[in-house]
């Protein structure tokens, strides 16, 4: 009898997760505001409002912003947003095209073209097995942070979501700047959590799991916001191979971002 009950529970567990996820999305329907008090420590003269947040997304390639960070970008829509992309994504010699696609994607996500910086440096090649130079990257990123008075940096964690060496290099660089106290006073860092391969492709079914797991910040998109995230990804036409189309449909990163502070 006990075995039969367990079998039935396992059979219906995906349905239960789906129902919980749908309930969560309905409960959050139309909620766009992100309270900056959950992101930044209060300080002298700092206003507890979204526009007090000056957030910089540090990514490795054009399409990272849509594939991985769309929930964070859309939920920080009222903040001042910048994007620092460390390469043009020229692995297949499509760098020029991908840069144009990035600007279109950012327009959909609400990041002004004037706030988008794409680095094209021979020592920062788009390659899945190349680790980028920490000294070079830290100098470029720190200058960007100081110039734009950034007080919140968002980037990959040590796993880089996909294990890509370029992604992990960004984490190594930001961690170095943070641990060496080189970031401006009051500037905080959030890293995007790398989850297991199983959870990565659960789409909205991962929402209940994400809610139960420990994290510092959790962003979950409404149905309308999730459609915006997809439109941003469709801007990267040169990258829309069959497996990326499946990614858009099934990846939890298109609807959920769980992040931790350094």
Mean pLDDT of 213-232: 95
| pLDDT band at residue 235 using 50, 70 and 90 as cut-offs | very high
Residue 50 has pLDDT above 90, yes or no: no
| C-alpha of 240 from chain center | 19
**Per-residue model confidence (pLDDT) at position 97:** 97
| pLDDT band at residue 214 using 50, 70 and 90 as cut-offs | confident
Give the integer Cα–Cα distance in Å for 229 and 66.
Answer: 6
Average pLDDT of the chain, as a whole number: 87
Residues, the chain, total? Answer: 262
Helices (H), 81-238: 95-109, 134-147, 165-179, 197-200, 206-212, 223-234
Structure-block tokens of residue 82: 């910048």
Residue 238 has pLDDT above 80, yes or no: yes
**Per-residue model confidence (pLDDT) at position 215:** 87
DSSP calls for 204-218 = GGHHHHHHHS--SEE
- Phi, psi at residue 148, to the nearest 5°? -100, 10
Structure-block tokens of residue 125: 């090649």
């Amino acid at each position: 009898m006990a075995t039969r009950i367990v079998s039935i529970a396992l059979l219906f567990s995906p349905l239960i997760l789906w129902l919980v996820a749908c309930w969560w999305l309905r409960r959050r329907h139309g909620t766009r505001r992100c309270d900056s008090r959950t992101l930044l420590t209060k300080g002298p003269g700092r206003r507890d409002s979204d526009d007090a947040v000056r957030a910089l997304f540090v990514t490795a390639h054009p399409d990272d912003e849509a594939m991985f960070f769309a929930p964070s970008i859309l939920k920080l829509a009222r903040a001042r947003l910048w994007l620092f992309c460390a390469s043009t994504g020229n692995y297949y010699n499509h760098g020029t095209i991908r840069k144009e696609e990035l600007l279109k994607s950012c327009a959909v996500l609400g990041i002004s073209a004037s706030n988008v910086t794409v680095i094209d440096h021979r020592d920062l090649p788009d390659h899945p097995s190349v680790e980028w130079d920490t000294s070079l990257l830290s100098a470029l990123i720190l200058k960007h942070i100081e110039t734009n008075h950034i007080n919140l940096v968002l980037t990959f964690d040590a796993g880089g979501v996909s294990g890509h060496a370029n992604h992990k290099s960004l984490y190594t660089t930001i961690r170095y700047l943070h641990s060496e106290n080189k970031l401006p006073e009051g500037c905080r860092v959030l890293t995007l959590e790398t989850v297991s391969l199983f959870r990565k492709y659960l789409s909205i079914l991962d929402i209940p799991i994400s809610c139960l797991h420990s994290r510092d910040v959790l962003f979950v998109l409404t149905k309308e916001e999730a459609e915006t995230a997809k439109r941003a990804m469709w801007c990267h036409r040169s990258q829309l191979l069959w497996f990326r189309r499946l990614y858009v449909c099934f990846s939890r990163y298109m609807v959920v971002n769980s992040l931790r502070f350094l």
